[in-house]
């Protein structure tokens, strides 16, 4: 494949967040490859894998319409022809998302490594929606000196504030409304001098929300932020109506 390709890896069930990545990819290259592959290795929960929404024909049309020049929907055998060697995401792979999703980031790094080797893109466009994933992939690419430039794309929200996610379709009407507590907590925390307390308080106000974690991290190290931290980001993960949701925002009050 051409070296100047801009690559957008996805698991399909495309929404406007994915399309924004494709549009951003177009500004880096005329050749935009979109992969659609639901990676079994990154699902620690078989039920979540079974319920993951899939609609390849609609995905194909949406991606082409947004400017993709090639849609690549490989089979599992194409990506994992034999028993794959699982790549470790390292210690950060077991923190935050990794606490509740053991092995998830090992699966992510393993598939990204395979996808990058097949596509050999010059640019890969990844969403800030999955902030820890973005950080770990950047780290992996740097460590392994993989010749790809990672471009971070901003998180896209619905007009009511909910971060777009393929899993949102499973929320139901009540769940969707209840899930808004997450973005609300982030918007208030962003402006607050005491963001941890504010997030916890707002999240507790919604009984339908079950918290996994709500933290402020240092964007450079992915450690919990200290008073010296320059670039801070609030991360929230939790559950509404059996659906796991993830969101984050850059803090406007920085040291």
Q: Does 11 bind ligand AMP (CB under 6 A)?
A: yes
When binding is defined by CB under 6 A, the residue of 6, 21, 150, 249 that contacts ligand AMP is 21
Residue spans of alpha helices (H) in 102-220: 104-119, 131-143, 172-190, 195-204
Q: Does 127 bind ligand AMP (CB under 6 A)?
A: yes
CA 82, chain centre distance (Å):
27
CB of 6 to ligand AMP, least distance (A): 13
State the Cα–Cα distance between residues 16 and 4, nearest whole angstrom: 24
CB of 153 to ligand AMP, least distance (A): 5
Give one DSSP letter per residue of 80-135, joined into a string.
-SSSPPPPP--GGGGSTHHHHSTTHHHHHHHHHHHHHHHH--SEEEEEGGGHHHHH
When binding is defined by CB under 6 A, the residue of 165, 168, 229, 248 that contacts ligand AMP is 165
When binding is defined by CB under 6 A, the residue of 101, 129, 184, 233 that contacts ligand AMP is 129
Beta bridge partners of 218: 232
For ligand AMP, which stretch binds (CB under 6 A), given 16-24, 81-89, 178-186, 188-196? 16-24
CB of 152 to ligand AMP, least distance (A): 9
Interface with ligand AMP (CB under 6 A), residue total 17
Q: Does 171 bind ligand AMP (CB under 6 A)?
A: no
Closer CB to ligand AMP, 164 or 200, in the complex: 164
When binding is defined by CB under 6 A, the residue of 5, 7, 18, 96 that contacts ligand AMP is 18
State the Cα–Cα distance between residues 219 and 232, nearest whole angstrom: 6
When binding is defined by CB under 6 A, the residue of 163, 214, 235, 240 that contacts ligand AMP is 163
- CA-nearest of 119, 113, 129 to 18 is 129
* 18 noted as active-site residue: yes
Cα distances from 55 to residues 12, 21, 38, 59, 172, in angstroms, run: 7, 19, 11, 6, 19
CB of 223 to ligand AMP, least distance (A): 21
Q: Does 104 bind ligand AMP (CB under 6 A)?
A: no
Encoded tokens for 200 = 């916890």
State the Cα–Cα distance between residues 118 and 56, nearest whole angstrom: 20
State the Cα–Cα distance between residues 83 and 77, nearest whole angstrom: 10
Residues between 107 and 126 with contacts to ligand AMP, criterion CB under 6 A: 126
Contact residues for ligand AMP (CB under 6 A)?
10-11, 17-18, 20-21, 126-127, 129-130, 153, 155-156, 163-166
Residues recognised as catalytic: 18
């Amino acid at each position: 494949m051409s070296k100047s390709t801009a690559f957008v890896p996805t698991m399909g069930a495309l929404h406007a967040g994915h399309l924004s990545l494709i549009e951003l990819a177009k500004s880096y290259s005329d050749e935009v490859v979109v992969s659609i592959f639901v990676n079994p290795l990154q699902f620690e929960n078989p039920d979540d894998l079974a319920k993951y929404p899939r609609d390849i024909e609609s995905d194909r049309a949406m991606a082409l319409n947004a400017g993709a020049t090639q849609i690549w929907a490989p089979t599992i055998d194409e990506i994992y022809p034999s028993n794959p060697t699982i790549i470790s995401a390292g210690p950060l792979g077991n923190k935050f998302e990794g606490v509740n999703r053991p092995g998830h980031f090992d699966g992510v790094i393993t598939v990204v490594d395979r996808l990058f080797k097949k596509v050999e893109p010059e640019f890969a466009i990844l969403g800030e929606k999955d902030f820890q994933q973005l950080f770990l992939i950047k780290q992996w690419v740097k460590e392994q000196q993989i010749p790809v430039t990672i471009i971070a794309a901003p998180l896209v929200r619905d007009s009511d504030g909910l971060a777009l996610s393929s899993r949102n379709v499973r929320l139901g009407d009540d769940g969707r409304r209840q899930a808004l507590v997450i973005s609300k907590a982030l918007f208030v925390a962003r402006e607050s001098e005491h963001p941890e307390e504010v997030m916890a308080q707002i999240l507790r106000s919604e009984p339908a929300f079950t918290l996994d974690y709500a933290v402020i991290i240092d964007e450079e190290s992915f450690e919990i932020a200290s008073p010296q931290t320059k670039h801070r980001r609030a991360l929230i993960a939790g559950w509404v109506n059996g659906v796991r949701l993830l969101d984050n925002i850059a803090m406007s009050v920085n040291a």
